[in-house]
Structure 1
Amino acid sequence: MEAIQRDEIEKEIREKQKTVDYDTKEFTIELLLSKYTKDKETDENEIYVPYYQRAFVWNLERQSKFIESVILGLPIPYIFTAEMEDGRLEIVDGSQRIRTLEAFIENKFKLIKLEVLENMNGCYFDDLPVPRKRKFLNTTLRMIVLSEKSNDDARFMVFERINTGSDLLRDMEKRLGSYQGEFTEFMVEYTKNPLFIELTGFTKKASDRKEPEELILRFFAYSDDYLDFKGNVNDFLDKYLKKQNLDGFDEEIYKQRFNNVLEFVKKYFPNGLTKTLNSKKTPRLRFEAITVGVYLALKQNPNLEPTNMDWLESDEFEQEIKGQASNSPKRVKSRIEFVRDRLLSN
């Protein structure tokens, strides 16, 4: 390896290290929970679960095994938090653990299926001897606090690389946590739009994974920049969201743009944005093709009134919204313009 390459490697490492600023803290369970529960009802608790985090998903067996691990003194993974402008700590990874501790101490569940501390099966927190309860509350947990000084790229890197097995955050969850700003807030709020809700369908799991926000982001990103899309979809969406938050946007114009599309879809698309009426799934590729295609068609002809929608059930359209390399720039452009051209041709 050339000396100049070694110098460039070292330079890059040092530059990237500067973007990550964090601190390590230790809290007793009692103190940690007080910071989490105090003023939680008014959303002013010092340590909090952000809106983008999915609902509580651990079952009783998993909660019980976690409590057993704490009592046994087994190593517990770090809780990751991010420091916000107001000094509060947003939980990046560890909300399931914190909420389990809170539920156990408040006697909301009893321990089940323990294989090591078998005599504790069926016990609530209040069933434990007083000395054991004190020891439990005085157990310390470690926390990584990503400083407010860390930039967006550093925050996203932490979100992306945290791995807790089946609880790995999805791309949109990471975006909502990393790229905060007015456009992000706008997308989240738009998921409550009654017409958007009527024309789409999501399972609870998909909603918890922020699929509605993902689709809204895709609509705006492609309707603004689909001709400039190159490479990886996630990189494209990340850059778009960061840019919108940084540069600002006219909320009323963007809201009206999507409203116009949804009203058109309601009028002319029998199944809305789903494949079948009342479906609990909104396929991404179908959503992109229809919403962005409709937007482009209305942009050319605001008074558009199509008379033939048979193409919606055609094999040709089906091929456009499925298959390999479906997110290549060529395929994205093809399916969007397919819908646009079919609407404008009749």
Structure 2
Amino acid sequence: MTRKPGGKPYEASFQDDALLTPDEVSELTEAEDSAAPVSYMGSDFDVEGLVRRLGRDDIVIPSFGHNDATIEVAGFQRGFVWARNQMDRFIESLLLGYPIPGIMLVQQPNMKYLVLDGQQRLRTLAAFYEGVYGGKEFALRNVAEEFKGLTYKTLEPELRRQLDNTFIQATIVRTDGTRGSREAIYQVFERLNSGGTQLTPHEIRIALYAGPLIDYIDKLNKSTAWRQLYGSFSPRLRDQELVLRIIALFTKKTEFYRPLKKYLNDFAEEHRELKGLPTKKITKLFDRTAELLLAAAGRESVRYQSQQVNAALTEALFVALMSRLETTATEPAPEQIAEWITTLTKNRRVIPAITRSTSSEENVRVRHRAAMRIFTSEEA
């Protein structure tokens, strides 16, 4: 729990809850203007063969949110793991010969397979065959009496063969590493992303567009003044997405289009390797803007009638103030910035634009034009 300076503690906000926000649900379910085709095929793998391929890195489960130069499409993995009882019961299902769900892999140009869906099942198999999980012996416990205490090494030959020779069905999607191919896989994953703990649009984006841009956003997200403004790190990466929104809208002020997920995906694709992006200038402006907002109104500067960060308001404030700092040598005083924030948040046209349908083209245009007029005394 975080405490306001001289005030009451901030309660944990819905924006950092494991559940998706209404805006995120809307983003995930909003249809694209066009649907990209994808090619795929079916194949069966025996369990022992899957574990062997995992050990050789022929099947890759990349680390969530980190770039891996050996793969064409990174990530796509949830930041959550199965509970131990789920792992035990999965192995038990295989020993009993019960049917289990298939997995989905992406075949890359180098012929390696990337796990698109099925991470926890494959990790569980690898841990059971190795005999270790969490630094302890992986012996079954949340299972029927006949299986309790068993490890892979202590399985009777018949049970071992039952497990080794069980086939798991795989759907294999092909990618050539191009922009259209990555967009198609993004859409495939969106349609798989249901039940359990759903990924946010940005969690999918980080997986798909991993690289120098994502690493740069992660670095900005750790800036001292920004962290003081935002608060604790978001376990669902909503703070990182907000940083990306600020950078994209500052860089391309008049080019926003719906849906937001595609706008940000296209920006991430274009600048994946940081080409054409003035990172030193952006870092300087971003950090100074955060410092000035803190000095002006503290954490309240990016909150509107709530204890949680208002992403739409934050994005508009940052873009407008960064634009002023970019073009004007004299910095505004904190008192002046506080007055501008008050003027913006009391504007009757702006209020709906920061509280309802915040990613609509009209509302983005309204709040950004208003912020630019107030902060720079000119139209955006």
| TM-score bucket of the superposed structures, by smaller chain | 0.7 to 0.9
Offset at residue 218 of structure 1 (A): 0.7
Alpha-carbon distance in 2 for matches of 1:302, 1:124: 69
In the alignment, which residue of structure 2 is the partner of 1:88? 112
Alpha-carbon distance in 1 for matches of 2:229, 2:280: 21
Alpha-carbon distance in 1 for matches of 2:152, 2:226: 44
Distance 1:145 1:118, change over 3 A: same
Match of 1:261 among 289, 294, 297: 289
Q: SS at 1:80's partner residue? A: strand
Distance 1:237 1:76, change over 3 A: same
Match of 2:86 among 41, 51, 62: 62
Q: SS at 2:271's partner residue? A: helix
Greater fraction helix: 1
> Are the equivalent residues in 2 in contact too, given 1:60–1:111 (CA < 8 A)?
no
> Are the equivalent residues in 1 in contact too, given 2:64–2:79 (CA < 8 A)?
no
Offset at residue 112 of structure 1 (A): 5.0
Residue deviations 1:145-171, cap 9 Å, x none? 322337223222222222452243321
Distance 1:330 1:154, change over 3 A: closer
Distance 1:295 1:168, change over 3 A: same
Q: How does 1:1-346 map to 2 (within 5 A)?
A: 19-38=37-56, 46-52=59-65, 53-105=77-129, 106-108=131-133, 109-111=138-140, 113-114=142-143, 117=144, 119-121=146-148, 123-126=150-153, 128-149=155-176, 151-163=181-193, 165-180=195-210, 182-202=212-232, 206-207=234-235, 209-245=236-272, 248-250=275-277, 251-271=279-299, 275=303, 282-306=309-333, 307-308=335-336, 309=338, 312=341, 316=346, 319=351, 322-343=354-375
What amino acid does structure 2 have at the position aligned with 1:120? F
> Are the equivalent residues in 2 in contact too, given 1:27–1:142 (CA < 8 A)?
yes
- Name the TM-score, length of structure 1 as normaliser: 0.74
> Are the equivalent residues in 2 in contact too, given 1:293–1:338 (CA < 8 A)?
no
Residue deviations 1:260-290, cap 9 Å, x none? 43343344342287649xx8x6442243133
What amino acid does structure 1 have at the position aligned with 2:330? N
Q: SS at 1:218's partner residue? A: helix
Q: SS at 2:171's partner residue? A: strand
Offset at residue 221 of structure 1 (A): 1.8
What amino acid does structure 1 have at the position aligned with 2:98? L
Offset at residue 59 of structure 1 (A): 1.3
Offset at residue 26 of structure 1 (A): 3.0
Alpha-carbon distance in 1 for matches of 2:273, 2:194: 31
Offset at residue 313 of structure 1 (A): 6.7
Offset at residue 22 of structure 1 (A): 3.1
Alpha-carbon distance in 2 for matches of 1:90, 1:273: 43
> How many residue pairs get matched?
317
Residue deviations 1:68-88, cap 9 Å, x none? 322233333232222345543
What amino acid does structure 1 have at the position aligned with 2:217? M
Alpha-carbon distance in 1 for matches of 2:211, 2:109: 12
> Are the equivalent residues in 2 in contact too, given 1:81–1:146 (CA < 8 A)?
yes
Distance 1:93 1:23, change over 3 A: same
Distance 1:256 1:34, change over 3 A: farther
Alpha-carbon distance in 2 for matches of 1:211, 1:91: 24
In the alignment, which residue of structure 2 is the partner of 1:41? none
- Name the TM-score, length of structure 2 as normaliser: 0.68
> Are the equivalent residues in 2 in contact too, given 1:217–1:237 (CA < 8 A)?
yes
What is the CA RMSD across the aligned residues, in angstroms?
A: 3.6
Q: SS at 1:270's partner residue? A: helix
Higher relative contact order structure (alpha carbons within 8 Å, sequence separation ≥ 6): 2
* Identical-pair percentage: 22
Residue deviations 1:202-254, cap 9 Å, x none? 45xx43x3323311221122212343324322232223223334893234344
Distance 1:272 1:49, change over 3 A: farther
What amino acid does structure 2 have at the position aligned with 1:55? G
> Are the equivalent residues in 1 in contact too, given 2:301–2:341 (CA < 8 A)?
no
Offset at residue 193 of structure 1 (A): 4.3
Alpha-carbon distance in 1 for matches of 2:300, 2:111: 44
Distance 1:316 1:65, change over 3 A: farther
Q: Which runs of 5+ in 1 are unaligned?
A: 1-14, 39-43
Alpha-carbon distance in 1 for matches of 2:213, 2:109: 18
What amino acid does structure 2 have at the position aligned with 1:104? F
Distance 1:274 1:138, change over 3 A: farther
Q: SS at 2:105's partner residue? A: strand
Which stretch shows the higher mean deviation, 308-317 or 325-334? 308-317
